[in-house]
Amino acid sequence: MRGVLIVGGGIAGCTAADMLAQSHIPVYIVDKSKNIGGKAINYGCKATDTCLKCNMCLTQDIWQSVNDNRYIDIMTGADVLSCQGDKGDYRVMIRLDDGLEREINVAYIIVAIGFQPYDLKNKGFFGYGLYKNVLGGLDMEQLLKQRTPETLPFINPSIKKLAFLQCVGSRDVQDKAPYCSKVCCAYALRMGQTIHYYYPDIKITYFYMDIQEVGGVFSDYYDKLVKNGFRFVLSRPVMVEQADDGGLEVIHEDLAKASVVREKFDMVILSQGIRPADDIDYIADVFGLGYDANGFLKGIGRWSETGIYLAGAAKGPMNIADSMADARRVAMEIITDYRIAAVASGVM
């Protein structure tokens, strides 16, 4: 049986691989990183004394399941060099991590290359990389993974006021990203609750354009957040500067008063958005894929006819749960195709 090539070993790629392998379909995963897991493997659970539905628990078993499954052949530190053929008979050349080349023959291909976080250094006026207490959303994810039941590793007694700046690298026409990244509001709201759980005296403010209602997070938590002293300021800050005392000043417009305000904080977290993967042009060229209006991948022709599928954030911003659901849908389409072919050939 010719199997399935999956390009990308993140949450979407591994979810599809796991489901296909459970149906005894051979799977080849190619990922340019040294390990499977993509970005999600570095994210931290945001639960307090209750689950905040960050979906990290959904990923806990998937990595081990993929690594242990005998139907899955994992090639990390590897790159796709070329792809020839048609649905049912693709010949794909892979360059392995030792420099050797390997050709695999597969029936289907799933492109699940994920995304790249917005490069916060493009917004130099927010002080990322310049001031130590200006952090990005990805920094926070990695720090939350290091927390203990007693402490957060990035909080010290000097931090009394903390600000989240939303939509950094998203919903910005001038920065060629007019779209919503669909994850920033949700993770920022959850992070704020996690910080408040450990340090309830810290005053937390969100500067936002409008809070996106993705997955019901805002409506679920808003009343609780306001009751706990969280502020929501409808304003898009223009700059973060260092104050004379070493703190930070967020410069933003007070819309009600039509004036510019400088407000002091001890820490600023930039809720960075999602951008197309850094190798998207190369992958699009190898597999003959197109782009949507925002620069993410889209197929050319019907997937069921070409045998080349897209899964997860390769085709647009998605959170963990949506990426996994999308990958399962793609895997199920391929499994169904295999079963139809087996019946037609008299195998079943």
Predicted pLDDT of residue 210: 76
Predicted pLDDT of residue 132: 92
3-114+277-345 topology per CATH: FAD/NAD(P)-binding domain (3.50.50)
CB 171 within 8 A of CB 138: no
Predicted pLDDT of residue 219: 66
Residue segments in the chain with a per-residue pLDDT below the cut of 50: none
CB 241 within 8 A of CB 131: no
Predicted pLDDT of residue 217: 58
Question: Could you give the residue range(s) of every CATH 3.50.50.60 domain in the chain?
Answer: 3-114+277-345, 118-273
Predicted pLDDT of residue 216: 59
Torsional class of 276: left (φ above 0), alpha (ψ -120 to 50), beta (otherwise): beta
**Of 89, 83, 74, 65, which Cα lies nearest the Cα of 15?**
65
Tell me the CATH architecture of domain 118-273: 3-Layer(bba) Sandwich (3.50)
